[in-house]
Structure 1
Amino acid sequence: MSKPPSKREKATSAASSDNTPPASSAEDILEPEDPATATITVTAVEVPELTEQEVSDRLHLERKVERAFFEAGKALAELRDRKLYRSTHKTFEEYCKQRFGYTRIAASYKIAAATVMDNLLTNGLQKEEIATGELQTPKMLTNGLQILPNNERQVRPLVSLEPEVQREAWQKAVEVAGGKVPSGRIVKDVVQRIIERTRIPNTYQLGEVCQILAKDNPKLRGKGGCWGIVNHVGEFSCTVKTWDGEYTVGLQYLKSYNYLAHECQQMQVICDRISRVYSDLLEETVKNLLQSLGKLNRPYLTAVEKKLLSVLELEYGEK
């Protein structure tokens, strides 16, 4: 007769039927590692080098990003010069406002910035290469300009300078920035120092009649050739009153007519009469007539001009 199983044998048999592994001996039990002394294994991920084609693509795309403001300015200039907005809008200003959300000043600044960029760019490139944005390597640049602006704020302060001085100012700004692309603030400071260095004494007098020389100043667009009455004399500029408002104009954008005192008084009267009638809401033909009077290069009105102005004053009265 067989001997009944002991308690130990019963426990072993039960564990075997449950597929539960038998308990390990004290020697088989491993204590967890101390976090302070545990070793962490990091698998290195190899970053593949750029291929020659990828390097070329990167440079090309970076140039496109940097030149975005330049291309926008060039495009706006062509839209304006060819009047490609004329099928939907009466004026370029209205078109920019509705199509792009740009004010007249903003659009003018973008165009002026593109003009400055054109000046800083190489003359060794063909025009079609510049237009398509194929500028890729520093050796393609001239005038030592191997670092170019990449946004409009860096270019805007240069607008008021002559082309040769623009290049000088930009090179100086790059030097101040330690050989890197300078910020707009650095460029502005450099330009201000150049203006102070080359400034001429302000000899204009209150009440003097001056002609506005707009040149490439976007703030004076449409005012080239207009005359104005000086009503404030500053250190670097004058405030002049024209038929449609007041403008602060740098000395380099003014030219005195050298009228006699009584002739300046006559022009003051004419200016006041025109400004009382002028309004942006006037019909285009009336506005054009008043604007033409605002560009006279003589200190008087002809008999016909006097009659026309009198008719407009009766018709429209004071604004």
Structure 2
Amino acid sequence: MLATISPYEEPESSPSYCCLTIDPEFQNLIPPPSTEELAILEANLSQEGCLQPLIVWKNHNILLDGHNRYQICTQLHIRYTTLEIELPNREAALTWIVNHQLGRRNITPETASYLRGKRYSLLKGNREDNLKQNSPKGQNVTSVDIAEELAQQYKVSSRTIKRDAQFSEAIDTLALAMGEEIKQDILGRNANIPKKEALSLFQIVKTEGEQVARHRLEQLRHPIDIVERIRNKKLLPNPRRVGEVCQIVAKGDTELKKVSGCWCIIVGVNTYSCAIRTWKMDFDAVKPENLEPIDGASEEKAAFISSRIRQLADKMYEDFDPTHAAALEAFGRLPNPATLTPKQERLLAFLETEYSGI
């Protein structure tokens, strides 16, 4: 059911969240955006309006998706719509939120790990509670291990699911001890605390206390040696240009590791960074030293092939097949994306035919 909300009229003293119910557990499943991301969202909503409906749990009036948009819209009196979905219970609502977030294209590996871990812990706890309630008196109830079930669903190993649960526990403990903003430090696109350091902070909180952990957190947020290195480094003008076809080289950039070796097309050039498009995702600020031009690659042909592969990647999220995804991954790592062999062209055409109806 799609409902249109009229221009918001509220007394100055009333809270921002007064039409829809905000459930803290639901909201905290979604990593908070950075200050820059929030500013961009506010600018887009102010200029274009709220184009996507807010997702609401039917008959409960609880917001499931769109918390940041809802807050901005209520504060700035921007019209929005809601889409109500029916869910049988709270566990189903939590599952919907997790799966919806995991389906987003630009989700970070750390966020995916956190969400899988939350799903495991919630589902495991609910099943154990059900067993205890329905078991005869005096009968011992063993721990229910559902890692294998989730591993098959999310295409990872059961050991990964259990490590994800440990990671999500660590994040929630740190957020409780030091504030929700630490989630952005660990799970955000520009995170400054690696997963290994987050787990180390968790151990410090448990063994040495919150004060020692806060001191270590400040060191991670403001590393003096890196700051001094940046101050002393002389930045060179950006040699790249829009349309140029390049290969991505991580060179210490952790965010680029997952696409290192892939080819990309430069779609924007700033003074010291580039915006690039790969076969499956975009990056807004990549340093020129992380981009190596591919000599002899036709920019026009590469752009055409990139568009074909990108459209396929988007459709595969609706009907995922690991074999087809592996084929697209191979296309994303071609040495010269502007030139396809006859076999490669036939394979790409076959995939386009397979997904043409989606």
The TM-score, its normalising length taken from structure 2, stands at 0.41
Taking structure 1 as the reference length, the TM-score comes to: 0.46
**Higher Cα radius of gyration:** 1
